């Protein structure tokens, strides 16, 4: 005779919702910095709550989102193919536009092949989940982007995390696995999204050679920016032939949306046939592909956009350091300013926001405990006058809150 079912007290999955109220007091006090709605934009000026502000945290590094040629590039594709592919690339969503753009992007990146994704996040998920099996190991810099961590979780492989930028720690993990019949993949951001620090690719390449590992670099914040031709972190170091896979996004320097992986043709084709986030997601809309393609064209033909960017990055970072601010190890257009504990960081943010500067704070776990930052990004369309205005506002706020003398 079957045992009677004994009723137990159920747990509602929504019970956790009221416990997550950390944002409520900040909202009530007018100190919640996120989800600020932009109702208009003209150049670097945005409208928030009816007032004009200077945008200082957009990842539009080359300023191409406001370039009329890029904006208009999508119109012919929109008229010819409509608003959406209404299906995945695997089925009805592959257009000649996709394939032509992938060929041109592969040529630009000096890769045999490129595959595009509907977002950069999906690219991270798709590549790692497709390539990494249960007998493979991924070696992750602890400050890698969240999309890479979620890709690792979606895979069946093992994850080994090394301390941020600590090559000795990475080597100790590789050494521990030496001799094991496993696949090895070292995964790192090219430019880290919070600190703006550039990864130590020369040492990573040395270790990969020594221990038989492959290398994947996430160049989301590097493509179009780093290197003599804007090809990213590997070109910056002169190591393009040493990097097995490069992934990235079109939502930064490309002024668009989407993602990509570039590498050997056989590997890219393997990902194309196996990556579930690619196979089961609607393809990039035709207008968006055309817009991104135009951005690539300008990126290649007009180096003036990168040159303008780097002059402004230098001016801004030198100005901040001259005032006494700590910009961490930033070496690119991402410019963080270390403020400290959360309360002081929020108060600092509120002052610069009230003075018309749109920039966002970052707190743990995005940054280490007690090291809250204001994360900013310079783009090539910022004027020197706009940058000087930001420096003046930061000087006042920095002295008021004891961040600088």
Q: DSSP class of residue 308?
A: H
Q: In Å, how far from its chain's centre is CA 274?
A: 24
Choosing from 58, 65, 124, 193, which is the catalytic residue?
Answer: 193
Answer whether 247's CB lies under 8 Å from 259's CB.
Answer: yes
Q: Which residues of 35-72 are buried (b: 16+ CB within 10 A; e: fewer)?
A: eeeeeeeeebebebeeeebbbbbbbbbbbbbebeebee
Q: Which residues of 322-352 are buried (b: 16+ CB within 10 A; e: fewer)?
A: ebebbbbebbbbbbbbbbbeeeebbebbbbb
Choosing from 111, 145, 164, 221, which is the catalytic residue?
Answer: 221
| Catalytic residue check, 252 | yes
Q: Peptide bond before 121: cis, by omega within 30 degrees of 0?
A: no
Distance CA 158, CA 136 (A): 6
Choosing from 252, 294, 305, 382, which is the catalytic residue?
Answer: 252
Quickly count: other Cβ atoms within 10 Å of residue 204's Cβ: 24
* Encoded tokens for 84: 């959406």
Angle, in degrees to the nearest 10, between helices 384-400 and 304-323: 20
Answer whether 361's CB lies under 8 Å from 26's CB.
Answer: no
| Catalytic residue check, 315 | no
| Catalytic residue check, 350 | no
Instruction: Tell which residue, 222, 294, 292, 290, has the closest CA to residue 257.
Output: 292
Answer whether 392's CB lies under 8 Å from 64's CB.
Answer: no
Q: In Å, how far from its chain's centre is CA 155?
A: 20
Instruction: Tell which residue, 237, 155, 193, has the closest CA to residue 336.
Output: 193
R_g of the chain, CA atoms, integer Å: 23
The set of catalytic residues is: 193, 221, 252
């Amino acid at each position: 005779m079957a045992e009677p079912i004994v009723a137990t007290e159920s747990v509602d999955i929504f019970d956790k919702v009221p416990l997550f109220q950390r944002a409520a007091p900040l909202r009530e006090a007018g100190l919640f910095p996120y989800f600020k709605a932009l109702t208009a934009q003209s150049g670097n000026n945005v409208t928030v709550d009816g007032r004009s502000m200077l945008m200082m945290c957009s990842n539009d590094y080359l300023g191409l989102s406001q370039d009329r040629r890029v904006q208009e590039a999508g119109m012919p594709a929109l008229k010819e193919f409509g608003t959406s592919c209404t299906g995945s690339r695997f089925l009805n969503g592959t257009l000649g536009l996709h394939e032509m753009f992938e060929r041109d992007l592969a040529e630009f990146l000096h890769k045999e092949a490129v595959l595009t994704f509907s977002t950069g996040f999906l690219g991270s998920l798709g590549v790692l989940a497709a390539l990494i099996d249960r007998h493979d190991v991924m070696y992750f810099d602890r400050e890698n982007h969240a999309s890479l961590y979620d890709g690792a979780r979606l895979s069946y492989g093992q994850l080994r995390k090394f301390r941020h930028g600590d090559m000795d720690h990475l080597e100790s993990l590789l050494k521990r696995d030496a001799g094991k019949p496993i696949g090895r993949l070292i995964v790192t951001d090219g430019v880290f999204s919070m600190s703006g620090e550039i990864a130590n690719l020369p040492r990573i390449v040395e270790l990969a050679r020594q221990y038989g590992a492959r290398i994947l670099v996430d160049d989301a914040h590097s493509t179009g920016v780093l290197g003599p031709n804007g090809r990213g972190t590997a070109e910056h170091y002169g190591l393009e032939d040493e990097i097995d896979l490069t992934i990235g996004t079109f939502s930064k320097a490309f002024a668009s949306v989407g993602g990509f992986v570039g590498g050997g043709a056989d590997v890219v084709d393997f990902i194309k046939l196996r990556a579930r986030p690619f196979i089961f997601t609607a393809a990039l809309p035709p207008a968006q592909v055309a817009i991104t393609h135009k951005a690539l064209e300008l990126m290649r033909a007009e180096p003036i956009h990168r040159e303008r960017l780097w002059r402004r990055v230098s001016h801004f970072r030198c100005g901040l350091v001259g005032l006494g601010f700590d910009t961490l190890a930033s070496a690119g257009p991402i410019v963080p300013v270390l403020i400290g504990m959360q309360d002081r960081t929020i108060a600092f943010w509120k002052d610069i926001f009230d003075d018309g500067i749109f920039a966002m704070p970052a707190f743990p776990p995005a940054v280490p405990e007690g090291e809250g930052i204001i994360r900013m990004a310079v783009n090539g369309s910022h004027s020197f006058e706009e940058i000087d205005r930001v420096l003046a506002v930061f000087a006042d706020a920095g002295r008021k809150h004891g961040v600088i003398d």
